[in-house]
Amino acid sequence: MLALSYYISFQRDSKISSTHRLVGILLDNALETAEESTLKIVKFSVRVDEHGKLENIIMNSCDKDDVDVARIFERGYSTKSEPSGEGLYQARQIQEKYWKMGYALQIVPSCKEGFFTQVFKINLDKSGDTNVF
């Protein structure tokens, strides 16, 4: 059994809700994939990188190293046994929505050596508050 729990306190705001939706999608995918894998590992870290961006890293074990990271954000594409192909497509829609509004939000997936990693970065303003969400 693989379990992850976290507590987030926030005011209801569409920007914050979008951030939580994005984290939720990526964590749900990580948990589902790790649960089906041999190692059953999920790691989630948050830090400010050397460029002042809030860097969120979600890494999970997976038994496939051939995930087509170029296609995972396409609507309907899935590597799961019961595919829906909607979650990562919705994550990409959130990213594109804020990118078009002039905010820098990057999602960079990779898959190698039995681990699938998604890094997403959000610009911070000089006070340390996010200016994306």
Is residue 126 helix, strand or coil? coil
Tell me: the pLDDT tens digits for 56-71? 889 999 988 778 888 8
| Domains in the chain, number | 1
CATH number at residue 82: 3.30.565.10
Tell me: the pLDDT tens digits for 87-99? 888 988 888 887 6
Which residues of the chain, if any, have pLDDT below 50?
A: 1, 3-11, 126-133
C-alpha closest to that of 120 among 74, 81, 88: 88
C-alpha closest to that of 90 among 22, 15, 31: 22
What whole-number distance in Å separates Cα of residue 133 and Cα of residue 67? 29
Global pTM reads: 0.73
**Residue at 66 is within a domain:** yes
**Residue at 59 is within a domain:** yes
**Residue at 48 is within a domain:** yes
**Residue at 133 is within a domain:** no
**Residue at 128 is within a domain:** no
b/e per residue, 85-114, with b = 16+ CB within 10 A? Answer: bebbbebbebbeebeeeebebebebebeee
Sorted by sequence, the CB contacts under 8 Å of residue 88 that are 6+ apart come out as: 25, 29, 72, 73, 77
**Residue at 3 is within a domain:** no
Domain enclosing residue 102, as ranges: 14-123
**Residue at 41 is within a domain:** yes
Sorted by sequence, the CB contacts under 8 Å of residue 49 that are 6+ apart come out as: 55, 121
**Residue at 9 is within a domain:** no
The widest CA-to-CA distance across the chain, in whole angstroms, is 45
Both tokens assigned to 96: 């594109």
